[in-house]
C-alpha cells in the first residue's frame, strides 16, 4: 500500500515538473502580440490597441491596430513655427506662453497654453493662444465656462 502511495506521489511530482518546464519554456518564446495571444493563460485586454498580458505580467500591444494619422491630418507648420507666430501676437502682450500645447487637425490650429497676467484675467476662463495654420496668425481663445459664482453675503443667525 505504501509503495502505491509513494509511486503515485512520484508520478504526480514528475507530471508537475514536466508541466512547469513546458509552460516555462513556452513563456520564454512569447515576444510579441501574436505569440502571446496563443500562449496558455494569456489574457487579451479590452483596450485600443488591444494588448495581451502573459501569466508573468508582460504586456504586448497589437501593433496592427495602432492608428496611423493620415497625411492630410498632419500640420503644415511645426510647433516651433507656431510658437514664433504666437510670440509675435497679442497673446504675449496679455500673458506668458507655457509649454502645454496640442495640434487640432480638424481646425488646423495649434493651441498653446497661456497664463495671463492679473490685469487681463477673466474669472471662469482658461485662455489659450490659438495659431491658425491657414492665416498664420494667433489670437487668444478665452475658453470661458460661463459659470461665474455669485458672491453671497454671509448672514449670521442668532
Alpha-carbon torsion, ordered 47, 49, 50, 56, to 10 deg: -90
pLDDT of residue 150: 66
- Could you tell me if 31 and 25 are in contact, meaning their C-beta atoms sit under 8 angstroms apart? no
Does pTM surpass 0.75? no
For 60-101, the pLDDT digits (tens) are 888 887 655 544 456 789 999 999 999 999 999 999 999 889
- The pLDDT value recorded for residue 116 is 92
Amino acid at each position: 500500500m505504501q509503495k502505491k502511495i509513494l509511486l503515485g506521489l512520484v508520478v504526480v511530482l514528475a507530471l508537475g515538473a514536466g508541466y512547469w518546464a513546458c509552460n516555462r519554456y513556452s513563456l520564454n518564446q512569447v515576444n510579441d502580440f501574436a505569440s502571446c495571444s496563443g500562449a496558455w493563460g494569456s489574457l487579451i485586454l479590452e483596450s485600443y490597441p488591444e494588448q495581451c498580458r502573459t501569466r508573468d505580467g508582460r504586456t504586448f500591444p497589437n501593433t496592427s491596430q495602432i492608428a496611423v494619422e493620415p497625411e492630410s491630418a498632419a500640420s503644415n507648420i511645426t510647433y516651433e513655427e507656431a510658437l514664433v507666430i504666437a510670440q509675435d501676437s497679442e497673446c504675449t502682450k496679455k500673458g506668458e506662453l507655457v509649454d502645454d500645447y496640442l495640434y487640432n487637425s480638424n481646425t488646423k490650429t495649434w493651441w498653446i497654453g497661456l497664463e495671463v497676467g492679473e490685469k487681463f484675467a477673466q474669472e471662469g476662463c482658461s485662455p489659450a493662444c490659438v495659431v491658425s495654420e491657414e492665416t498664420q496668425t494667433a489670437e487668444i481663445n478665452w475658453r470661458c465656462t460661463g459659470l461665474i459664482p455669485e458672491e453671497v453675503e454671509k448672514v449670521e443667525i442668532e
